[in-house]
Structure 1
């Protein structure tokens, strides 16, 4: 292998921070050292990865292609180190976790006792919310993000993916009738979200294609509120299986329009900044979740 991990890390950090000086500060190196690492990398690859001007840095087409590979390699190394470190460390101290209310209630809360039994010296703080938060502003050490990631400056680890399904209570279907085709939804009360608007696109195959944008008759900002509305017989909702699996098993919610439902999954990632003081707590928590959610 021609390249080194230090060179890949310098390249990725310059891209994420936007400049050599910012990357040097983030990596606790000198600007000249980061610049030399980039030059060595381009020399070894015999290609230009970034065009540098006095005002900005821009990736070349080759740079874009190589960046994706570099990210994957560094992510794999991070995960390998994290997994091994958790076998030997006894992390201690406070760990602040931020996640949407339904994820905390239905995924994290049932796992808390097992996690603390394994890491008794970690003090967990669970902060719930239904919008994407700034980790620094909200003093969160790690956050669970549901859906596409937007901030490439954060480290992330995929934890699981969950199917979306159309669900209603038996009492609602008895009162309003069971839809047998997608067009029947026009006659029903639809439960949706105030934001983001993407949550009001349901995984349905219809005449115009895949994915049906709906206008909710009742909208809520929280997935847990939408779940409770569905359980109360208020209408039909599109919800993730991580928060409704027990409801369906108990018969409190039933799936509708199964034949017209396409496979659409919500990805869940753990996101965090690398912080030396917090590193052991974060990686042990993230690895624990990854193993438990994969097992389920």
Structure 2
């Protein structure tokens, strides 16, 4: 089909300019090549399109009819290419996004709302859940992932990174004391996060781990935050889950002067040669809005930790 389009384009340009030589100059080709392309087109159609004399070219009756159709086809193709190219630079259509529930509610949904106001031709399907969806199988344009990524055919672009924070309520610390080091921390009541087969360990910034012991284990970070606020123990939580509680004084962040454990926050999308404008611009929006350290940590007065 590509060869046939080349043959049609060659014929149209020769017919319009009335000369193989001028058509070859216009197309950056050679006279011989154009002649062969027109002859191949005639052979495909089974008719003669051009009468060749020593002085000039003449369109046959069939050639005149075919020229009108061919010009119309090439114009339509140019218009289609222009329309698609323009659309590719326009934020429109539908964008499907997947993200973790708690993070999505707090920090993604507000940005989606602002982005949709800025781009009213865009429709969004925002699915929030904590399972690892298959972007390609389930038709997502973009997913937000936090933490270590498994190898895949997806493209991962890091947006920012957040701290894991140890935190407890003022009442708990008043009752049990404030731990000053990891040895003291190990003696405290620990609220454990456990999901799937992963062990409920606390990971410290120096790479060591502790196994917390305490009255509660849950697979939901919001639950652990509430239990920590209730004074039931110390929890290690990603900063985005406890910012509001710390700023409101319901929780106190511990060990903020020590190297933290960090979680990378990624935008994942299927590998494509051309990334749609809606996805590219939304990722740029996330970069600008969250920053590094992320905006919720800056609100707590936390500076960017040293690279790990």
Say yes or no: TM over 0.5.
yes
2-structure distance, mates of 1:193, 1:264: 15
The alignment status of 1:201 with 2:202, answered yes or no, reads yes
Give the deviation of 1:95 after TM superposition: 1.7
2-structure distance, mates of 1:204, 1:156: 24
Q: SS of the residue aligned with 1:179?
A: coil
Root-mean-square deviation (CA, aligned residues, Å) is 3.0
Name the residue aligned to 2:277: 280
Kept in 2, the 8 Å contact 1:92–1:122? The answer is yes
Unmatched 5+ stretches in structure 2? 1-84, 296-308
Kept in 1, the 8 Å contact 2:162–2:264? The answer is yes
Give the deviation of 1:158 after TM superposition: 0.9
2-structure distance, mates of 1:171, 1:123: 46
Structure number with bigger Rg: 2
Name the residue aligned to 2:234: 236
The count of aligned residue pairs is 207
Give the deviation of 1:112 after TM superposition: 2.9
Name the residue aligned to 1:267: 264
1-structure distance, mates of 2:282, 2:125: 12
Kept in 2, the 8 Å contact 1:101–1:224? The answer is no
Give the deviation of 1:103 after TM superposition: 1.2
| Mean Cα deviation higher: 220-229 or 272-281 | 272-281
Name the residue aligned to 1:56: none
Structure 2 counterparts to residues 1-80 of structure 1, below 5 A = none
The alignment status of 1:126 with 2:126, answered yes or no, reads yes
Q: SS of the residue aligned with 1:136?
A: helix
Q: Which protein has greater RCO, CA pairs closer than 8 Å, 6+ apart?
A: 1
1-structure distance, mates of 2:240, 2:96: 22
2-structure distance, mates of 1:287, 1:199: 35
1-structure distance, mates of 2:120, 2:275: 16
Q: In the superposition, relative to structure 1, how do residues 278 and 204 fare at CA in structure 2: closer, same or farther (>3 Å)?
A: closer
Question: Of 254, 262, 276, which residue of structure 1 is paired with 2:252?
Answer: 254
Give the deviation of 1:249 after TM superposition: 1.8
1-structure distance, mates of 2:272, 2:222: 32
Name the residue aligned to 1:292: 289
2-structure distance, mates of 1:119, 1:232: 42
Q: In the superposition, relative to structure 1, how do residues 254 and 94 fare at CA in structure 2: closer, same or farther (>3 Å)?
A: same
Kept in 1, the 8 Å contact 2:156–2:269? The answer is yes
Name the residue aligned to 1:49: none
Name the residue aligned to 1:169: 169
Name the residue aligned to 2:117: 117
Structure 2 counterparts to residues 100-115 of structure 1, below 5 A = 100-115=100-115
1-structure distance, mates of 2:144, 2:284: 13
Q: SS of the residue aligned with 1:125?
A: strand
Kept in 1, the 8 Å contact 2:202–2:212? The answer is no
TM-score where L is the length of structure 2: 0.59
